[in-house]
Amino acid sequence: MSKFGPAQFGPDYVRAIAPYQAGKPIAEVAREFGLDEATIVKLASNENPFGLPESSRAAMLEAAADLGRYPDANGFDLKTALSQRYDVPLEWITLGNGSNDILEIAAHAFVQKGEAVVYSQYSFAVYALATQGVGGRAIVVPSVNYGHDLDAMAAAIDADTRLVYVANPNNPTGTFIPAEQVEAFLQKVPSNVIVVLDEAYNEYLAPQHQFESSAWVRKYPNLIVSRTFSKAYGLAGLRVGFAIAQPEVTDLMNRIRQPFNVNSLAQAAAVAALNDKVFLEKGAKNNAEGYKQMVAAFEELKLEYVPSFGNFVLVKVGDDEGAGARVNLALLKQGVIVRPVGAYGLPQWLRISIGLPEENAAFIEALKKSLS
C-alpha cells in the first residue's frame, strides 16, 4: 500500500464497465477446438459474406502509395461523395472510425457525468458502453416484442436526459420501426435532447421500408443519423462510419473527434463502395434469400425466432437458461461460429448472421445435430 492508500485506478464508472464481447475470430476457434481454419463457418459478427468489394480493394491499392502521409483529417473526398448521395452539405457530416466511434463521440460531446442517456432493453451493447464511458446514467426502457417501445422511451426522458439512442433496425434482435413511428417519436423528444438514430443495417431494408432519414435531419436540429460501411458495404475491418446532423451538432462532434480517426485506406475504400451499386444489390439479394433459408429451417425445427430486418436473425434454441451457451458450444465443436447473446439478457437465444447459401446450410446442419 502506498502512502496514498490502496492502488485503485480510474473512476468507479469505468471500473463498473463490462467489456464488449466480440464474435470469436476464426483462428481462435481453430486453435481451441483443433479444427482446420478453412472449414470454419463464421456467422457471428454480421459481416458481409462477400467480403470487401473489388472496387474498394482497387481503390485501396492506389491509396496505399500515399500511406507515408497522414490521412485527410477532413475526409474531403468521402464527405463529398456522401454529401452528393444524401443531398446534405459537407458541414453536416462527421466521419467515424466505424459508426461505433460516432456513438461514442456523441456521448462525449453531449453527456456529462451524472446526466442521463435513454436506450432500449436488448438494443446494441455499445450504447451502454458509451454511456458508462462518460459516467452517464443509463435509463434502460423495457422492450416490447424484442423491439423498441418508443412511447415508453419518450416518456422516460427526464430533466437530466441529454441523449437517446435508437437502433433501426436493432441489433441483436433485428426489429424494425416504421418511418411514421420514428417521426412521431422525434416530434415528442424535447429539442434540447439529442437523438442518435443508428441505422447500421439500413441498406438491407426492402424498398418499401426505406426512408431517407437525412430528410428528418433537415427538420430536427437535435437528430444525428448514424450509418456504417461495416455491414452492407463489406468494410468491417477498415472501420469507417459517418453521421449526418445539422451544423451546430456536427461542429461539436468534430471537436471531440480525433483529427485522423478515419485512415486513408478506409476513406478511399468507402468512396468506392458507396458508388458500387452492383455489390450492394448482390448483397441485398443474397441476404433476402439467406433469410428465407434460415427461417424455413427454424420453422421446420419448431424454433421461435424474431422476424429480422437486418443481415442476421435471433433464434431461441431452448427453454432453459443454459440453452444458448450449450448449443453455441455444440456448434463451435462443429466449426460453426455464431453469437451467444446471454450478455444481452437473452440466454436462451443465439444470433446468426446470414451468410452465403452454403454457409447457411452448414450452420443449419450443425444446428440440427446440436439440438438432438
Ligand X SMILES: *Cc1c(COP(=O)(O)O)cnc(C)c1O
Residues 62, 56: Cα–Cα separation, whole Å: 10
CB of 234 to ligand X, least distance (A): 11
Does residue 6 have a cis peptide bond before it, meaning omega lies within 30 degrees of 0? no
- Amino acid found at 145: N
Residue 164 interacts with ligand X (CB under 6 A): yes or no: no
User: Which residues, in sequence order, are CB contacts of 176 under 8 Å at separation 6+?
Assistant: 147, 168, 169, 170, 205, 209, 309
**Nearer Cβ to ligand X, position 291 or 362?**
291
CB of 247 to ligand X, least distance (A): 23
Residue 198 interacts with ligand X (CB under 6 A): yes or no: yes
**Nearer Cβ to ligand X, position 104 or 115?**
104
Q: How many residues sit in the footprint of ligand X (CB under 6 A)?
A: 13
Query: Of 26, 154, 167, 243, which one interacts with ligand X (CB under 6 A)?
Result: 167
Q: Which stretch binds ligand X (CB under 6 A): 36-44, 93-101, 208-216, 251-259?
A: 93-101
Provide the Cα torsion 49, 51, 56, 60; round to 10°. 160
CB of 230 to ligand X, least distance (A): 3
CB of 200 to ligand X, least distance (A): 4
**Nearer Cβ to ligand X, position 167 or 252?**
167
**Nearer Cβ to ligand X, position 241 or 335?**
241
Restricting to residues 97-156, which ones interact with ligand X according to CB under 6 A?
Answer: 98-100, 124
CB of 241 to ligand X, least distance (A): 4
Residue 241 interacts with ligand X (CB under 6 A): yes or no: yes
**Nearer Cβ to ligand X, position 143 or 334?**
143
CB of 148 to ligand X, least distance (A): 12
Which phi and psi angles does 93 have, rounded to 5°?
-115, 135
Strand-by-strand arrangement of the 349-353 sheet: 305-306, 312-316, 349-353, 339-340
Q: Which stretch binds ligand X (CB under 6 A): 19-27, 92-100, 254-262, 333-341?
A: 92-100
Which phi and psi angles does 210 have, rounded to 5°?
-65, 135
CB of 273 to ligand X, least distance (A): 13
**Nearer Cβ to ligand X, position 233 or 305?**
233
Place of cell 464481447: 21
The residue number whose beta carbon is nearest to ligand X equals 98
Residues 102, 257: Cα–Cα separation, whole Å: 9
Interface characters, 248-287, with ligand X (x: CB under 6 A): ----------------------------------------
CB of 58 to ligand X, least distance (A): 22
Restricting to residues 26-65, which ones interact with ligand X according to CB under 6 A?
Answer: 46
Task: State the residues that interact with ligand X by CB under 6 A.
Answer: 46, 98-100, 124, 167, 171, 198, 200, 228, 230, 236, 241
